Amino acid sequence: GENVEQHPSTLSVQEGDSAVIKCTYSDSASNYFPWYKQELGKGPQLIIDIRSNVGEKKDQRIAVTLNKTAKHFSLHITETQPEDSAVYFCAASRGTYKYIFGTGTRLKVLA
């Protein structure tokens, strides 16, 4: 069935260092890959997304890369700040009214 694996489940980095979260999806028809950030007591919020016809996308300190052949995509956060601490979810969609979410990564940025 459709599945998205996400690693690591927890990640601690020093402030200013980079953080990388990786996801692998199973449905080769997936064509949209968003990343969501969930802060404590709030709903997930989109931080960046990528479509299957693009290999990389960057928005300030955040970047996402996609390898369609390997069915991998990754989130890269550079120059991490304490406010980056949250749970991050990757997701995959084939555009049929359904997102399959990864299992989440709890990121802690240590000051």
| Residues near other proteins (CB under 8 A) | 31-32, 34, 36, 38, 41-46, 49, 51, 87, 89, 93-101, 103-104, 106
User: Nearest distance from residue 16's CB to other proteins, in Å?
Assistant: 26
Q: How many CB atoms lie within 10 A of CB 93?
A: 20
Q: Which is nearer to other proteins, 80 or 102 (CB)?
A: 102
The encoded tokens of residue 67 equal 């390898």
Q: Which is nearer to other proteins, 78 or 101 (CB)?
A: 101
User: Nearest distance from residue 95's CB to other proteins, in Å?
Assistant: 4
Q: CB within 8 A of 60, min separation 6: which ones?
A: none
User: Nearest distance from residue 66's CB to other proteins, in Å?
Assistant: 14
Q: Which is nearer to other proteins, 14 or 42 (CB)?
A: 42
The encoded tokens of residue 41 equal 């007591």
Q: Which is nearer to other proteins, 12 or 18 (CB)?
A: 12
- CA 59 distance to own-chain centroid: 13
Q: CB within 8 A of 43, min separation 6: which ones?
A: none
∠ at Cα 61 (56, 67), nearest 5°?
20
